Copies of this chain bind each other. A is one copy, B any other.
């Protein structure tokens, strides 16, 4: 359809470029302002696209929000692809935590992009976008679960919920208290916890 490249000779790549700009702009602006308080005009301005033209690329606001979710999924797989290059699964998980802590200022100001979006979409009855948000989070959970599984630890799914849950929790608290230090201190605890996990002894909980 209205894909980025290779379609017509006359239209050039501007169409795809504008569409992509709208996607990333939506992801950014929605993260900062929330879905409900973000207007089409806000997105158009951020993407440097004329207001009325937005509807040529996305028929509804919901489609724009769905595009933001896709964008988050894309950024997530960029990160996990990079971490997959590490030989030790434990180092991959520690690298993930390090990436989270590296985003501490953004987290303190606006929270986790995917997590806060999931919270907001849950309150939207129509459209089924809430389910889509859950799928993006599932991508992360599954990747983390594979790492715990590769380490030979018992209940890798439960451990994945604990690690990702800890991230969502510390992001929310850091955001609510406006304190990036929460990300740093809790991140240190997570790293120590990951180091302490042993395939032999089954440490039960979140820490």
Closest Cβ–Cβ distance, residue A66 to chain B (whole Å)? 16
Q: Which of A5-54 contact B (CB under 8 A)?
A: 32-34, 36-37
| Residues of A in contact with B (beta carbons under 8 Å apart) | 32-34, 36-37, 110-111, 115-116, 118-120, 122-125, 130, 133-134, 137-138, 141, 158, 161-162, 164-170, 172-173, 175-178, 182, 185-186, 188-193, 196, 203-207
Q: How many copies does the complex hold?
A: 2
**Contact A137–B173 (Cβ < 8 Å):** yes
Q: Which residues of B contact A206 (CB under 8 A)?
A: 162, 166, 186, 189-190, 193, 205-207
B-chain residues with CB within 8 Å of residue A162 when the two chains form the complex: 166, 186, 189, 206-207
Residues of B within 8 A of A178 (CB): 134
The answer to whether residues A34 and B205 also contact, given A137-B176, A167-B169, A177-B137 and a CB cut-off of 8 A, is: no
- Nearest to A118 among chain B residues (CB) is B176
Contact pick for A204, options B133, B137, B196, CB 8 Å? B196
